[in-house]
Structure formats: structure tokens, C-alpha cells
Amino acid sequence: MKKIALEEHCMVPGLAAYWEGTMADVPKEIYERIRTRLFDYGEMRLREMDEAGIAKSILSVAGPGVQVETNTATALKTASEANDHLAAQIAPNKDRLYAFAHIALQDAHAAAKELERCVTQLGFKGALINGHSIGHYLDERQFDPFWAKAEELQVPVYLHPADPPVQYKSFDGYDALRRATWGWTVETGTHVLRMVFGGVFDRFPKAILAVGHLGETMPFLLWRLDSRAKLYGVKLKREPSDYIRENMYATLSGMYSAEPFNCSIAALGQSRVMFSADYPFENWVTAGKFMDDVQVPEDVRSAVAWSNAAKLFRLE
């Protein structure tokens, strides 16, 4: 079955140092395999897409990117250059490769302008944000100009994991838990809930959020979120679960297991779940095989693998 993949990473020269700083504890062989694929926009990437039945892929610069840059001018310049480089790299395969804008939120008004440039001039399909921006989260009012522009353009904002500003003491002695195993789920799920409980989707009711790893546990928590919001007197126009169901999409990236997949479909609806792999940190063939083999009705498989993303990103 043909597929569209959404959380698929690449690298540009100006941002490599940011990413390499996060890979110090990764074995050299694995690091080299990932790095080679991040910088490849042609033969290797397309061949591995074909092996997994992936017809189209939306690329994004691997984190942490400019989200960790403390100099605003540097962040803005680096992000703009990254987007220009990415546009040039995908141009030879524009029927198969697309892109999310790399956005510096250190200046929200400039971020809004860069998002508009990327969407209207470069043909990008939205933005991918690598977590908090030097400790600032997307629920903060300072980011409203960015949300207003994303809502106006009707393009998704894909929230990607990042390390927390300060590591949790509860992980002391358990480094394997700090990042992809568990820590990023805690950090990213909390970021999503800050947006929900902070009223982002009351202020911007047509804004679109995409979240990987089958929604970072959100589908599993809907009833409890509504229950506790009432208990604590959270003032929102709707229940938390309504925003998660109506403003958020969950993607499959890095979660190739039938039980959480079926939970996400049941909780959010089949129109709100989309295929992804998290390449090259995950394997496209593994992701593709899961999508082909998971025991679900064929209309669900087709929606998740293709039609939901095709409609949302206008890729028909």
C-alpha cells in the first residue's frame, strides 16, 4: 500500500553542529549510519522509501535545531538559510519530497513572516518545531503571532520532542530513560497539554497541531484529562479531550505496536491518525511493514497510510 510519511528527518550544513551535540553517547557505527542518511536527499532516501512503499515524504531538519540558539539574530538567519537549502535539495524530486519549515521562534513576528514565506514562496507544508525554544513553550502569549499566521495559512504545526530545559532528577542513574525511551514522551506530552490547558486552541480554534509517537500518550488519557480539569476548575471553552480530538493529529512515528495504534484510532478517530516513521532514527521498512500488516479494516489502513495526510497537506 502506498504511504505518505511525515516525521522524516534531514540535515543542512548550518545546523549539523546542533544535532551532533546530542549524539555524543551514540555508538559510532549507528551515528555514521544516521548521519549519512540525514544528508542524503536523493538515491538512498528514495530507494529506501520505495522499499517501504512510501510514495511521498515530508522532510524536516533533525533537532534540536535553532530552538536551542540563544542569539536571536543568529537563530533567524540560520533558520532562513536552512529553509532555502532544504527547498533546493528537494526540488529535483518535488513530486515525492516535501518539507516542513524550520522556524526560529525567538522572535514570533519574524517567525510568522518566515512561515508565510516558506509556505507561499517555497511550497512548504507547515512547520516542525523541535520542542521548547530555549525554555519557552508554545502556549505562551508571546507566540500568538506565529499561531495566528499558522491558522491563517491553515498549515499544521508539527511538535517534535526535545530535551527538557532541566533534566528530571527522577532519571538520575537511568540515562536510558532520559530521551527517546521515556523522557521525550513526558516532555512533549506536557508541551501538548500546556497548549490545551493554556487556551491556545480557544484563541486559535482552527489551528492544527500534529504530534508523533501516536500522540505522546494523549489518546490514552482523554477521560482523565477532562475529569481533572473539572476538579481543578480549569477555564476553557471546551473539554481538554475536545481540543485533542479536533485540533490535533497523531502520527505513527516510532510506535509500531497494534495496541497503542488501535487505542489512538478508537480515541481520536481514523481521520486523525497518520503514518510516519521517524527516519533515519527508525527504519522505514519496519514502519511500512507494520502499516501493511496491522489487523485493521482496509478503510482504516488506507486513511492512515495515505488519505488523511493527502487531504491535510493537499498532496492528492
The C-alpha atoms of residue 174 and residue 293 are separated, in whole angstroms, by: 34
Rg (CA), the chain: 18
The C-alpha atoms of residue 82 and residue 260 are separated, in whole angstroms, by: 35
The dihedral through the CA atoms of 92, 94, 100, 101 has a sign that is positive
Active site positions, annotated:
278
Q: What angle do CA 167, 278, 162 make, to 5 degrees?
A: 20
Q: Which of 108, 101, 204, 98 is nearest to 152 (CA)?
A: 204
Count Cβ atoms below 10 Å from residue 40 Cβ, excluding itself.
17
Paired strand residues for 211 = 159, 250
β 3-10/97-99 pair status: unpaired
Residues 192 and 248 sit within 8 Å (Cβ to Cβ): yes
Main-chain phi, psi angles of 8, to 5 degrees: -120, 125
The C-alpha atoms of residue 267 and residue 295 are separated, in whole angstroms, by: 17
CA 121 to chain centre: 22
